[in-house]
Amino acid sequence: MYRPGFGRYYTLKGKKMYIVKINKAKYEYDIHSLVKAFYPEEDVKVLSPESAVKDRKVWETAPRLEIFLEEDHVIIKGEAGEKSADTGGKDDFKTVLYQYFSGMTGKKLPWGNLIGIRPTKIAMTMLEEGRQEEEILDFLRRKHFVSEEKAVLGLDIAKRERELLAPLDYDNGYSLYIGIPFCPTTCLYCSFTSFPIVSWKKRVGEYLTALEKEIDFTAEIYRDKKIDTIYIGGGTPTTLEPEELERLFEKLEGAFDLTGLKEFTMEAGRADSMTAEKLAVLKAHHVTRISVNPQTMNDETLKLIGRRHTVAQVREAFHLARQAGFSNINMDMILGLPGETKEDVAATIEAIKELSPDSLTVHSLAVKRASRLREWIEENGISMLMNTEETMRIAADGAKALSMKPYYLYRQKNMAGNFENVGYAREGCYGIYNILIMEEKQTIVALGAGTITKRVYGDGRIERCDNVKDVALYMEKIDEMIERKRRLLGE
């Protein structure tokens, strides 16, 4: 039963909203993330007296939860009654809040009160401190309420990551990301910087010119450093024509010394963007790892999510890549796609096993604010997004049957089932860049519209600068984007 004064829903356009009031602007992100994890079907609004100025009507509504934060104490009042506890900081506060909701709902989240996108960083840091494995597992279970299965998975991945990153020189090396923000169409769930290629066909050359200016700048400012990995992502880089791809590769080869490159990845992504001619260009310029990403091997779902290609085209694209000589091919799949059942997931896994890729990235669907998926959920309900421990296990078992091991992991906000994304690979086919972007051990210089450069200092400090997302504005303001990087990367 609801306590008097609590539990009344505030609705916006007919949709329930879970209102949380706090007495001061503190821990808003953590509160929002944990409440949303327990109530994924509801919008969540966290308001403090400062933020209530813009949401006065919501502020005046009776909340579902009230939180009173003091210097070293917290009081929580809501549907489950009142809970009072001493706290020594944010971690203690998250513990109290998690226990409150877990006790009230009877739910235990797979990753407990961990809301960050990089849970393996905890295990990695403790390994580097010389902690024993059982101590790490115990810390994850007791301090953060992580399930036994996820704690073991996180530690296993951290150990593998540490071994794979050992040969890298963080101080004198860096990685390069190049964003190609064009796609054949925009997928239902996508929030990345991407624009329909049909609208930008005549300006791709102009985009490459701006990109080349960033390449020249990077080559100059980091002339004394060595590139360890290159990752060309998007969008869908293979929306570029063969001659445009040729132009990009020739520019990279002319600007940088690539003789010591450990990995060169390019997302071929969409089957409707791949041709034998394009794959030949990639192979000729020594791309070592590509992705052929179906997301599902169900034609009906492909139509629903806006991928205008068929399962047959995915198979054809994969075989073309093998024929072109690629021995490290990744495939992506997404769990929790609209309307898909465990039988659909099993069918996708079986189809992928038949193709036998060298790595498999298993994503849990994340509901992004900027994606069209939010509108779809409002019309059809979040119950149509079914991701469970069983579907996660079906995917993991499929990867194991392909002789793959998990090697990197990350989480996102609003993930179906509150699970994670896991990369699996065969020995020798692990994606080094994927680990670097998650563990934040090395500087990554990111070029192109909507990208974010991260400089990692010797003391572990990280600073960022971003490029504007809009393609036209990126081209117009390219000198400003370069100046941002100069301030970040210059000594």
Distance separating alpha carbons of residues 431 and 8, to the nearest angstrom: 49
Q: Which residues of the chain have pLDDT under 70?
A: 1-15, 186-194, 367-386, 414, 416-417, 491
pLDDT at position 194, please?
63
pLDDT confidence of residue 2: 33
In the chain, the domains with their CATH numbers are 10-105 (3.40.50), 120-165 (no CATH), 173-485 (3.30.750.200)
**Positive or negative, the Cα torsion across 270, 399, 175, 256?**
negative
C-alpha count within 13 angstroms, C-beta hemisphere, residue 147:
12
Report the pLDDT value the prediction gives residue 330, as an integer from 0 to 100.
Answer: 97
Q: Given this model, what pLDDT does residue 303 score?
A: 83
Specify the pLDDT at position 57: 76
- The pLDDT value recorded for residue 4 is 37
- Give residue 370's pLDDT: 54
What pLDDT, on the 0 to 100 scale, is given for residue 416? Answer: 65
- The pLDDT, as a whole number, for residue 41 is 78
Instruction: Tell me the pTM.
Output: 0.90
Ranges assigned E (strand) in 336-480: 359-364, 405-410, 421-425, 444-447, 452-456, 462-466
In this prediction, residue 374 carries a pLDDT of 57
